[in-house]
Amino acid sequence: MRSVLAIVCSVRSTLLALLLGFGLATTIHAQSAERYQSAPPSADGIGKVYQGREIAQMMGFDGAAWLERTERQKEERADLLIAELELKPGMAVADVGAGTGYYSRRMALEVGPKGLVYAIEVQPQMLRVLETTAKRPGYGNIVPVLGADDDVKLPEASIDLAVMVDVYHELAYPHEVLASIVRALRPGGRMVFVEYRGEDFRVPIKPLHKMTEQQVRLEAADQALVWERTARTLPWQHVVVFRRP
C-alpha cells in the first residue's frame, strides 16, 4: 500500500514539475514577444523594433571581402580601436560577431599565447574562415565558437572583455545576446560596443547600420552593466565601454 502511495506521489510531483516548467517557458516566450514590436520593414531592416530602433538586416557571407578591404585600416583606424580596448597579455576576450576575424586576429596578437580570443559567429561560412585562421602560426589562441541567434554560448564568468564591432545593430535578439554576454563576463569585465556614429551625417553608412551613443546606452541600461566611457578617437565609429560591476 505504501509503495502504491509513493508511486502516486512521485507521478504527481513529476506532473507538477512539468506544468511549472511549461508555465515558465510560456512566460519567458511571452516576455520576449513583448520586448519586440513589428513594423513594416524598411529597405535594410527586418521589421522588428527594439527600444524604438528597427533592427538591421544581417550582413551575409557575400560581404566577407568588404570586411577585409584594404581601405578599412584608413577608414576605421583599427590600430586606434585596438589601443582603446586596453588588452593585456593573458586576457580572455570575446569577439562577438567576428565575421572573417579582422579584429580577432589583431586581438589575438595583443593577448598573446597565454590569452584567448573567442571568435563567435552564427554563420557557418564565417566560422570556417575563422577555423582556418586559428590553424595559422601566431593565431592558435583564437577559438571559433558557433553561437546562437540569442546566445553567445560561452561559459559563465569566463571572459575579461567582450567586443562587438559593427554587430550589435544587426542582432535579431539584442537583449538576449547582451544578457548572455553579461553572464559570460567576469565581475569587473568590460563590454565594448563599436558602432558607426548615428549622430554624424558625414559617416557614409546606411542609417540602420549606424547607432547613436544615446541609443546604445538606452539599450545597455536594461542589463547589469555600468557605462564607463565613450571614446570618439576613431574616424567613423564610437567606442562605448561598459563594465559588469
Q: Is 160 in the site for ligand SAM (CB under 6 A)?
A: no
Sequential DSSP letters for the chain: -HHHHHHHHHHHHHHHHHHHHHHHHHHHHHHHHHH-EE-PPPTTEEEEEETTEEEEPPP-GGGHHHHT-TTHHHHH-HHHHHHHHT--TT-EEEEET-TTSHHHHHHHHHH-TTSEEEEEES-HHHHHHHHHHHTSTT-TTEEEEE-BTTB----TT-EEEEEEES-GGG-SSHHHHHHHHHHHEEEEEEEEEEEEETT-TTS-S-GGGEE-HHHHHHHHTTSS-EEEEEE--SSSEEEEEEE--
Does 102 interact with ligand SAM (rule: CB under 6 A)?
A: yes
User: Quick one: which segment of 40-48, 90-98, 131-139, 222-230 binds ligand SAM (CB under 6 A)?
Assistant: 90-98
- Say whether residue 142 binds ligand SAM (CB under 6 A): no
For residues 176 and 193, give the distance between their C-alpha atoms in angstroms, rounded to a whole number. Answer: 16
Which of residues 15 and 83 has its CB atom nearest to ligand SAM in the complex?
Answer: 83
Does residue 176 interact with ligand SAM by CB under 6 A? no
Find the shortest distance in angstroms from Cβ 156 to ligand SAM.
18
Q: For residue 195, state whether it binds ligand SAM (rule: CB under 6 A).
A: no
CB of 30 to ligand SAM, least distance (A): 22
Look up residue 4 and give its three cell numbers.
502504491
Decide whether 209 or 244 has the Cβ nearer to ligand SAM: 209
Q: Which of 97, 115, 144, 189 binds ligand SAM (CB under 6 A)?
A: 97
Give me the least distance between CB of 157 and ligand SAM, in Å please.
20
Of residues 32-71, those binding ligand SAM (CB under 6 A): 58-59, 67
In the complex with ligand SAM, which residue's Cβ is closer, 4 or 185?
Answer: 185
Tell whether the torsion through CA atoms of 157, 99, 74 and 219 is positive or negative: negative
CA 229 to chain centroid, in Å, comes to: 19
* Pick 58 or 182: Cβ nearer ligand SAM: 58
Q: What distance separates the 2 farthest-apart alpha carbons in the chain?
A: 81
Q: In terms of CB distance, is 41 or 113 closer to ligand SAM?
A: 41
Confirm or reject binding of residue 144 to ligand SAM (CB under 6 A): no
Is the CB of 117 or the CB of 187 nearer to ligand SAM?
117
219 binds ligand SAM (CB under 6 A): no
Catalog residues that contact ligand SAM under the rule CB under 6 A: 58-59, 67, 96-99, 102-103, 120-123, 126, 147, 149, 165-167, 170-171, 177
